[in-house]
């Protein structure tokens, strides 16, 4: 099965050949590298931009205004912060022009910890991004969703922020992307650029790729359970799924929801689950103060208070200025497998 | 183009057709009267904030007249700032739209009562929404120019902003992105230099003798012109636009202009007598050359003043947007 980087690449290939994507660009996105995480190797509309994030976001807005369909990349989300006013502008262009203009553009950026990226290659961006109205915000946790969400993003009339959990970019999927070859080695031979000289290389895209789209705004029920709900997305989602499997052995039944879309988000799915279990843990790795999960906790309290058997909980990154390079520092800064299992166990056993 | 121009000598005859001179004058008067009405509305409490372009008509009107107007990449794009009512009127907009925006009525054609005066948005003529953060338009402009270059044809991208704002990184972004040797872009980069930030003088803001010289480092053809002279503005804009249209390369044009009513209502919006008034100067020359009489020009101004007062009365009585309309247009619906 494809890994997430390959899935993204295949979706972009599909989008530039079938969905009208005109420009896939950013720092090192074009040949020869094809993106520092290889997500854009071999695509036909890629090009390398100047090292200028404001220029990248601005150009994406201009291309979208001009009638193109851009997919811009910011190399690490840590570097998107100096474009924050442009992101705000892209988000309010439709509204402030009273519907006159809309910007069909996608911005992709890798987020989060997990590659020992130290202080400036480990940030999360979900809290900041969900604070900017007018954008749709998605974050896949597996290759199939990565493919399907990107297809949807490239069909959108509105700006979409596509967050890529960098820890998962190399993880193979468990589900097949419609149209990908059955075995990994074949796929790799077809679409992974060789090391060394690539000047003569051309990818052979699987011809059977389909317009498989994951609708923006729909979560995924990853595992059914009836005692506790855990809601997550991105890097921490597989950890939650594993925690649920571990706890099942202990006789604790955990329902796992992959949110996939942060804005708009699937409240119906969360609501139904929380009403069933009465207990909910939200997990992400952004810093915990003014965290997107805090919004979900607030909404849970507002709307589902009388269904709750225990206070809704949030497990998130520590409110520290960065993620230190040493293994011990990174591990202590963002939720790890054990933290999630422990938190779920405690929540399942919590009595008033 | 090769005809010698002596436009700086006021004794020389005006080198444009009479009809064009009359049209430029007409639009300059219309713009000035509109801006004065907007200021008056603000002062009478019929608006919360005024910012606009009285003093820049001599440059903005020719710009609008010279634009290839229409929707889509075959036509010119304008990434304007907030002082360009003259350009919009020259594109054919009626002043009542600006008055409605000042009064933030539901009928405001540019933002539906959501944005400040002078913050135009006109997709049908490729006028990108004017943003309050200064200079961001310079980062956006290369994008439309890229599409235009790819599509072919002779549509160009025009971006304008103030001199103080050139300190923002977006200005450098525009110079860099539009002049890459591998992909030069058809962008007319304009800086209207009125010698002020809000209250920071040019001396306290930037050290280059001419902003246009910053184009040199990027191998961008550049020029500084007298933007208070509509004839010089027209001819220089025409030449610069022809170059960008044909060569598909950037041009940096600095236009020295006046700021006749200060920065905005935040600084009082009162007439500044020390500044050159481009309209007064132009009218003197039109009279000297026998293009128009004083009487004709006074009549025109009076007529526009009456029209504007009537339009303002209409705008004043129109309803504000419905409160629930805040939820409209957060996202575009699929078409
Ligand atoms: C990014 C940003 N910073 C500050 C402001 C506040 N502000 C509005 S206009 C202005 C001065 C701009 O001067 P200049 O660029 O010369 O243009 P002018 O108004 O003189 O035409 C400032 C500082 C703003 N709107 N945007």
Specify whether the CB–CB gap between A295 and A129 falls below 8 A: no
Whether A19 shows a pLDDT value over 50: the answer reads: yes
- Ligand 1 atom closest to the Cα of residue B81 is 21
- Is B118 a pocket residue for ligand 1 (Cβ < 6 Å)? no
Q: Which residue has the tokens 């025109």?
A: B300
Residues of A with Cβ-Cβ distance to B324 under 8 angstroms: none
Specify whether the CB–CB gap between A229 and A277 falls below 8 A: yes
**pLDDT 10s digits, A154-186:** 999 999 999 999 999 999 999 999 999 989 999
Question: Which is it for the CA torsion A304, A306, A308, A311, positive or negative?
Answer: positive
Alpha carbon of B199 to ligand 1 centroid (Å): 10
CB-nearest partner of A59 from B110, B136, B143: B143
Q: Which residue has the tokens 């980069």?
A: B189
**pLDDT 10s digits, B42-95:** 999 999 999 999 999 999 999 999 999 999 999 999 999 999 999 999 999 999
What tokens appear for B260 in the block? 């006749």
Give the pLDDT confidence score for residue B335 in this predicted structure. Answer: 47
Specify whether the CB–CB gap between A223 and A251 falls below 8 A: no
Report chain A's terminal Cα–Cα distance, integer Å: 46
Give the pLDDT confidence score for residue B304 in this predicted structure. Answer: 98
Alpha carbon of B96 to ligand 1 centroid (Å): 26
CA B158 to each of CA A61, A268, B80, B84: distance values in angstroms, whole numbers, following the listed order: 15, 47, 8, 13
Whether A297 shows a pLDDT value over 70: the answer reads: yes
How many Å apart are CA A80 and CA A125, to the nearest integer?
9
Q: Is B114 an 8 Å CB contact of chain A? A: yes
Question: How many alpha carbons lie under 13 Å from residue B41 in its C-beta half-sphere?
Answer: 31
- Is B139 a pocket residue for ligand 1 (Cβ < 6 Å)? no
User: What is A319-330 written as a DSSP string?
Assistant: SSSS--SSHHHH
Give the pLDDT confidence score for residue B12 in this predicted structure. Answer: 74
Alpha carbon of A348 to ligand 1 centroid (Å): 56
Report the candidate in A322, A259, A263, A339 with the shortest Cα–Cα distance to residue A287: A322
The size of the A-B interface in CB pairs under 8 A is 137
**pLDDT 10s digits, B237-266:** 999 999 999 999 999 999 999 999 999 999
Percentage above 70 pLDDT, chain B:
96
The alpha-carbon gap from B176 to the nearest alpha carbon of chain A, in Å, equals 8
Specify whether the CB–CB gap between A158 and A94 falls below 8 A: yes
Alpha carbon of B164 to ligand 1 centroid (Å): 7
Specify whether the CB–CB gap between A263 and A137 falls below 8 A: yes
Cross-chain residue pair B140–A136, CB shorter than 8 Å: no
ipTM exceeds 0.90: yes
Burial class (CB in 10 A: 0-12, 13-18, 19+), A161: buried
What tokens appear for A306 in the block? 């009388």
Q: Which residue has the tokens 């929707």?
A: B71
What tokens appear for A264 in the block? 């708009």
What tokens appear for A344 in the block? 């779920």
The sheet with strand A136-138 has its strands ordered as A46-48, A23-26, A70-73, A106-111, A160-165, A136-138, A261-263
Specify whether the CB–CB gap between B61 and B86 falls below 8 A: yes
**pLDDT 10s digits, A53-85:** 999 999 999 999 999 999 999 999 999 999 999
Give the pLDDT confidence score for residue B1 in this predicted structure. Answer: 41
Percentage above 90 pLDDT, chain A:
98
Give the pLDDT confidence score for residue A282 in this predicted structure. Answer: 99
**pLDDT 10s digits, B132-145:** 999 999 999 999 99
CB-nearest partner of B176 from A52, A101, A158: A52
How many Å apart are CA A207 and CA B136, to the nearest integer?
41
Comparing alpha-carbon positions, the chain A residue that sits nearest to B132 is A89
Give the pLDDT confidence score for residue B8 in this predicted structure. Answer: 53
Catalytic center residues of A: 121
**pLDDT 10s digits, A214-270:** 999 999 999 999 999 999 999 999 999 999 999 999 999 999 999 999 999 999 999
Specify whether the CB–CB gap between A181 and A205 falls below 8 A: no
Q: Strand pairing of B187-193 and A70-73?
A: unpaired
CA A237 to each of CA A6, A112, A117, A267: distance values in angstroms, whole numbers, following the listed order: 20, 13, 20, 17
How many Å apart are CA A231 and CA A283, to the nearest integer?
6
Cross-chain residue pair A100–B77, CB shorter than 8 Å: no
The alpha-carbon gap from B148 to the nearest alpha carbon of chain A, in Å, equals 7
Q: Phi and psi for B10 in degrees, rounded to 5?
A: -70, -10
- Give, for A280, the enclosing helix (H) or strand (E): strand A280-287
How many Å apart are CA B91 and CA B48, to the nearest integer?
26
Displacement of CA A68 from its chain's centroid (Å): 24
How many Å apart are CA A228 and CA A233, to the nearest integer?
17
Stretches in chain B below the pLDDT threshold 50: 1-4, 6-7, 335
């Amino acid at each position: 099965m494809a890994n997430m980087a390959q899935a993204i690449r295949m979706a972009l290939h599909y989008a530039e050949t079938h969905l009208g994507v005109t420009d896939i660009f950013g720092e090192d996105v074009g040949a020869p590298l094809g993106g520092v995480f290889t997500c854009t190797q071999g695509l036909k509309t890629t090009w390398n931009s100047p090292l200028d994030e404001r220029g990248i976001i601005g150009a994406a807005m201009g291309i979208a205004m001009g009638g193109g369909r851009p997919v811009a990349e910011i190399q690490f989300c840590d570097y998107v912060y100096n474009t924050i006013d442009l992101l705000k502008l892209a988000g309010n262009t439709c509204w402030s022009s009273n519907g006159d203009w809309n910007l069909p553009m996608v911005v992709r950026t890798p987020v989060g910890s997990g590659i020992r990226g130290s202080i400036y290659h480990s940030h999360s961006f979900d809290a900041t991004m969900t604070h900017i109205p007018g954008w749709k915000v998605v974050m896949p946790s597996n290759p199939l969703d990565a493919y399907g969400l990107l297809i949807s993003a490239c069909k959108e009339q509105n700006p979409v922020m596509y967050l890529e959990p960098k820890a998962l970019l190399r993880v193979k999927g468990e589900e097949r992307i419609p149209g990908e070859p059955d075995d990994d080695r074949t796929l790799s031979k077809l679409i992974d650029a060789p090391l060394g000289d690539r000047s003569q290389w051309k990818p052979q895209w699987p011809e059977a790729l389909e317009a498989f789209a994951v609708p923006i705004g729909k979560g995924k029920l990853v595992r059914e359970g009836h005692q506790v709900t855990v809601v997550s997305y991105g890097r921490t989602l597989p950890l939650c799924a594993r925690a649920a499997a571990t706890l099942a052995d202990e006789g604790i039944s955990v329902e796992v929801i992959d949110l996939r879309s942060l804005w708009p988000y699937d409240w119906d799915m969360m609501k139904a689950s929380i009403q069933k279990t009465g207990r909910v843990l939200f997990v992400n790795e952004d810093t915990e103060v003014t965290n997107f999960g805090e919004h979900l906790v607030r909404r849970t309290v507002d709307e589902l208070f009388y269904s709750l058997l225990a206070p809704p909980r949030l497990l998130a990154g520590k409110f520290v200025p960065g993620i230190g390079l040493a293994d011990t520092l990174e591990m202590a800064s963002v939720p790890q497998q054990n933290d999630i299992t422990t938190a779920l166990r405690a929540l399942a056993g919590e009595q008033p | 183009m090769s005809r010698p121009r002596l436009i700086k000598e006021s004794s020389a005859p005006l080198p444009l057709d009479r009809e064009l001179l009359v049209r430029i004058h007409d639009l300059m008067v219309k713009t000035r009267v509109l801006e004065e009405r907007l200021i008056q509305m603000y002062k009478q409490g019929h608006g919360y904030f005024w910012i606009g372009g009285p003093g820049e008509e001599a440059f903005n009107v020719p710009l609008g007249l010279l634009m290839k107007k229409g929707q889509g990449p075959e036509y010119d794009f304008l990434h304007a700032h907030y002082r360009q009512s003259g350009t919009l009127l020259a594109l054919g907009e009626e002043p009542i739209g600006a008055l409605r925006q000042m009064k933030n009525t539901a009928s405001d054609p540019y933002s539906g009562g959501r944005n400040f005066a002078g913050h135009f948005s006109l997709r049908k003529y490729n006028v990108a929404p004017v943003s309050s953060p200064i200079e961001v338009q310079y980062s956006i402009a290369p994008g439309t120019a890229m599409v235009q270059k790819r599509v072919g044809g002779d549509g160009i991208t025009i971006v304008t902003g103030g001199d103080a704002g050139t300190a923002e990184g977006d200005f450098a972004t525009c110079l860099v992105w539009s002049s890459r040797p591998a992909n030069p872009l058809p962008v007319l980069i304009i800086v209207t230099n009125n010698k002020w930030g809000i209250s920071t003088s040019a001396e306290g803001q930037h050290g280059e003798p001419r902003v246009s010289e910053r184009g040199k480092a990027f191998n961008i053809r550049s020029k500084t012109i007298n933007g208070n002279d509509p004839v010089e503005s027209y001819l220089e804009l025409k030449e610069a636009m022809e170059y960008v249209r044909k060569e598909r390369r950037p041009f940096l044009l600095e236009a020295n202009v006046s700021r006749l009513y200060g920065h905005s209502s935040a600084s009082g919006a009162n007439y500044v007598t020390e500044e050159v008034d481009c309209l007064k100067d132009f009218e003197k020359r039109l009279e000297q050359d026998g293009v128009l009489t004083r009487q004709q020009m006074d009549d025109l101004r009076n007529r526009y003043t009456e029209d504007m007062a009537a339009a303002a009365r209409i705008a004043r009585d129109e309803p504000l947007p419905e409160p629930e309309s805040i939820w409209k247009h957060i996202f575009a619906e699929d078409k």
